[in-house]
Chain A
Amino acid sequence: MRDWIGAIPLRERAVMRQKIQKLCEKGMELLKTNMLTTIEGYCADFYELIGGQLRIGVYLDRPKNMFILLHGWRKKRRRQPRDIGIAYNRLIDYLSH
């Protein structure tokens, strides 16, 4: 994730870093907006953080009070099952440890 954010163009990087900071400050309040949406069909607390064309798959670890940023990608079509799949696989890895 860190490498991915560091590699995106400056304007988009500023937007995504700001969204992550906002997620940190406001938490689930962002669900009221279109900046954070639920990814349905996988599991609870699996979300998509949205910044323009870019997306980050996010998991909320409630007991630890932390968001886990799983995988970032650029939206090209209406949905990206492959990218969401990568994020979900990482989530499975995370939950299995």
Chain B
Amino acid sequence: MSTRARQDLEHELRDPEFRRMYGAAEAKSELAIALADARHALGFTQEEMSKTVRVSQPYVAKLESGDANPTIGALGSMLGVLNLRLHMETVPLLAKPVSVGSAATFFLGAISGYEPAGDTCEVVIMATPTAAFPRETRRQQSILFQTEDYNPFKPWPEGNEVWAGSAKGYSTEEVLGGQKV
């Protein structure tokens, strides 16, 4: 995560009310990832999973989007049907930032002089190595070839030049889709 985004998050986490809501979202996301992992390990589609654990497919989708809020018992029942059990541990709410010396640290240094003006893109630096990324699907590859000017391996210019095109100055209304939140 960029230093700016990380700072914003750390600042907001000082508010106990924000922490409470963040903690709820964190638990739901971890559950979503655990369930998706279990489903993939079993080779199930969401439809097959829903039939096996006797819930609707949209509910499985909701669970895997981190929006559902099942009871612990309901969760245990679903996992039990899959011959799995819940394993829990508590860790600090916010994971440590990208470690010093990793490849990502270089990029933190590369953008340290950047001060965005107005509403611009935000950069997130990943802890996961690029090598772990899945290959493009056939559909993605076909889209890649259909898009004439697309070149994901185009070199990134030095310094802040890269941000010039991003700071295009979209209005708040445009960003919010013409609606006030």
**Chain A interface residues toward B at CB < 8 A:** 1-15, 17-35, 38, 40-45, 50-52, 60-74, 76, 80, 82-83, 86, 89-90, 92-97
If A4-B176, A9-B181, A66-B126 touch, whether A44 touches B144 (CB-CB below 8 Å) is: yes
Contact B65 A44 (CB under 8 A): no
Q: How long is the Cα–Cα vector from A44 to B4 in the complex, in angstroms?
A: 27
Residues of A within 8 A of B128 (CB): 25-29
Most buried by A among B22, B29, B94, B140: B29
Instruction: Please give the distance in Å from B145's CB to the nearest CB on chain A.
Output: 10
Count residues of B near A (Cβ-Cβ below 8 Å).
Answer: 78
Tell me the complex Cα distance, A23–B2, Å: 12
Q: Which residues of B contact A73 (CB under 8 A)?
A: 175-177
CB within 8 Å of A: which B135-165 residues: 136-137, 139-141, 143-144, 147, 149-154, 156-157, 161-165
Q: Contact between B22 and A27 (Cβ–Cβ < 8 Å)?
A: no
* Nearest A residue to B178, CB-CB: A82
Pair B126/A32 contact, Cβ less than 8 Å: no
